[in-house]
Structure 1
Amino acid sequence: MKRTLLSSLLALTTTAATALTLPVPDRPGDSLIGSPPHEVKYVAAKYEDTLIDIAVEHRLGQDEIVLANPHVDRWLPGEGTPVRIPTSFILPNAPRQGIVVNLPEMRVYYYPNAHQVVTYAIGIGRENNWRTPLGRTHIAAKMENPSWTPPPSIIAEHLADGDVLDPYYPPGPNNPLGLFAMRLGISGYLMHSTQKTNGIGMRVSHGCIRMYPSDIEQFFPMVKVGTSVNIVNQSIKVGWYHDTLYMEVYPEMEEWPASYEQRLHTALNLIEQANGGQIPVVKGSILKMALEKPTGIPVAVYERPSQASTQTTVQN
């Protein structure tokens, strides 16, 4: 049985993924999107692959694929090694409208209408002085084939490292902003494409939100000037899929550290909120493992009793 399962996993192709355009859950209270959680997707690593190569091929984030494959070597997975491809996501706990950016997850969710959500992996700002800001803003402007004039702070930083930036970068494929950029209402911050695709899913920018060139090429025409943008910090997400409650966990951001006890308190509060104000009897060992060793993969922490089992309990 195990050999048959492994063979089926290794037979899966590594065709590049497209942007995930998914239906918003239509069951009241549900918030898990993508493949049903029990449908797990793997691809077989090729001899020359790193996990980062596979992430780029499937338009996932670097940290995202490393978290999802904790026992696979980042730089040398090994030919034929099954690599898990995340395909299920819990929607952030935020209004389902406009653009929602979840920084710890390094993923953006866009709601073009009440029935669909589009999601992409992103790169975000470094910690300390270059972090991506939290809060509500909007798309203030859209620029196709943008030019870039590096600000003095970035010029000085590069110069300190022995790298001299040009004072002006004209439009074109060699421009660090790529071919598409959207300016946020927060001064100095953009969503834009990048040629440094290995940095998607990492904290590498000066605060801007970076996207795969092929992703923003799809995203750019969808978004109108004035679209709301909600940037949140949710390292723990909780949501229902039918009668099962799932939790999806990411490492805390460095500038907002939290102890295990604090993370447990946050998780239990979210579970209580999702369960109508009552804390159910959760799977304690799974909850503990998810908080101590985040994978970014939704894990089941509670199942509602079925009507049949409830009736049996009453009869007994």
Structure 2
Amino acid sequence: MKTRLLTSLLLSASTAASALTLAPPDRPGDSLIGNPPHEVKYVAAKEEDTLIDIAVNFRLGQDEIVLANPYVDRWLPRAGTQVRIPSSFLLPNAPREGIVVNLPEMRIYYYADSRRIETYAIGIGREDNWKTPLGKTRITGKTENPSWTPPPSIIAEHLADGDVLDPYYPPGPNNPLGLFAFRLGIPGYLIHSTNVVNGVGMRVSHGCMRMYPADIEQFFPMVKVGTTVNIVNQPIKVGWYHDTLYMEVYPEMEETPATYEQRLHSALNLIEQANGGQMPVIKGSVLKNAVEKATGIPVAIYERPTQTPPVVQSQAAPNKN
């Protein structure tokens, strides 16, 4: 508990509140990391701010901050508007090792060791022919100050839009790969920095995963070649924080749409799985609201009943007279 509290205090003092180094869940079977759900973090929008400016400042994804603030104008939030800063996350339903990437969430989780988990917002591949692939792979190489030679397919796409790419980009701040890059075992795909930070948290890449420059600068020396990378598609996450079950929901990937009924069925399966194979009694309106409103914020859906200890009746000592 002391480690978790210290981590929370250090994070609250940082302006980069969502490029996080977090303690793992403090109870076996729990899945929530970051601030306890009742500790909601807000920041007041300044007159010149957009939600995107606030996302970049706190190193959140664009879609992430928009989902968390559904009633705030993306481009013209009024000065003084309280903007919610996501600071609690349910871990993906995947082995807690190496790097786990949840594409609908557009977020990386890195299980650095038994004491800490790193999590970062990312940009991912577009929904057309440039999707970020799913599956298990590894980090096969690390490059500091990478160069970039655009492949013919990307050159042709840019030419069709009237944009001419250079045939070679040398290392440096103008390189689209930024200053750091990880090569994956899936040929042609990287995790890399970007010089277009507004694209973090959106589907704008050609399949690679893009990170904020400050985030990957922190991340790069931690990760060794050979680290496992598990890329998953989990728009609904379910997990415990102490005696409360939470659900965290994101929009479906465009290429894997689902009806409300399908999403509800998935949610029920995850709830049953999280509760040891038994379906708890959940209020229908609470579950419906959690499934329908994809805010990316953990929502409480069920609380374990408090076990009241049995009352032991005292017995009078027998009369020996």
Normalised to the residue count of structure 1, the TM-score between the two structures is 0.93
CA drift at 1:47:
0.2
* Alignment pair present for 1:260 and 2:267: no
- The corresponding residue for 2:28 is 28
- The corresponding residue for 1:130 is 130
- The corresponding residue for 2:297 is 297
- The corresponding residue for 1:173 is 173
- The corresponding residue for 2:197 is 197
Whether the 8 Å contact between 1:238 and 1:245 is mirrored in structure 2 is yes
Q: Determine the C-alpha separation between the residues in 2 that align with 1:93 and 1:283.
A: 24
CA drift at 1:204:
0.3
Q: Determine the C-alpha separation between the residues in 2 that align with 1:305 and 1:50.
A: 43
Q: Determine the C-alpha separation between the residues in 1 that align with 2:167 and 2:265.
A: 49
Q: Determine the C-alpha separation between the residues in 1 that align with 2:18 and 2:54.
A: 14
Q: Determine the C-alpha separation between the residues in 2 that align with 1:283 and 1:123.
A: 36
Normalised to the residue count of structure 2, the TM-score between the two structures is 0.91
1:1-316 aligned within 5 A: 15-17=15-17, 19-308=19-308
User: Over residues 138-172 of structure 1, what are the superposed CA-to-partner deviations in whole Å (9 max), with x where a residue is unaligned?
Assistant: 00100000000000000000000000000000000
Whether the 8 Å contact between 1:99 and 1:108 is mirrored in structure 2 is yes
RMSD over aligned Cα atoms: 1.4
Report percent identity of matched pairs.
81
Kindly report structure 1 stretches of 4+ aligned residues shifted beyond 3 Å: 12-16
Q: Determine the C-alpha separation between the residues in 1 that align with 2:195 and 2:84.
A: 25
Q: Flag structure 1 segments of 5+ consecutive residues without an equivalent.
A: 1-11
User: Over residues 234-293 of structure 1, what are the superposed CA-to-partner deviations in whole Å (9 max), with x where a residue is unaligned?
Assistant: 000000000000000000000000010000000000000000100001132122112112
Q: What is the identity, as a one-letter code, of the residue corresponding to 2:158?
A: H
CA drift at 1:17:
2.9
Q: Flag structure 2 segments of 5+ consecutive residues without an equivalent.
A: 1-11, 312-321
Whether the 8 Å contact between 1:102 and 1:234 is mirrored in structure 2 is yes
User: Over residues 165-193 of structure 1, what are the superposed CA-to-partner deviations in whole Å (9 max), with x where a residue is unaligned?
Assistant: 00000000100000000000000000000
CA drift at 1:15:
3.3
Number of equivalent positions = 300
Q: What is the identity, as a one-letter code, of the residue corresponding to 1:177?
A: L
Q: Determine the C-alpha separation between the residues in 2 that align with 1:246 and 1:258.
A: 21
Q: What is the identity, as a one-letter code, of the residue corresponding to 1:199?
A: G
Q: What is the identity, as a one-letter code, of the residue corresponding to 1:291?
A: V
Whether the 8 Å contact between 1:13 and 1:43 is mirrored in structure 2 is no
Whether the 8 Å contact between 1:101 and 1:107 is mirrored in structure 2 is yes
Q: Determine the C-alpha separation between the residues in 1 that align with 2:293 and 2:191.
A: 30
Q: Determine the C-alpha separation between the residues in 2 that align with 1:75 and 1:190.
A: 31
Query: Secondary structure of the equivalent of 1:129?
Result: coil
Q: Determine the C-alpha separation between the residues in 2 that align with 1:213 and 1:15.
A: 15
CA drift at 1:48:
0.5
Q: What is the identity, as a one-letter code, of the residue corresponding to 1:188?
A: G
Structure with greater helix percent: 1
CA drift at 1:18:
6.1
Q: Determine the C-alpha separation between the residues in 2 that align with 1:165 and 1:121.
A: 27
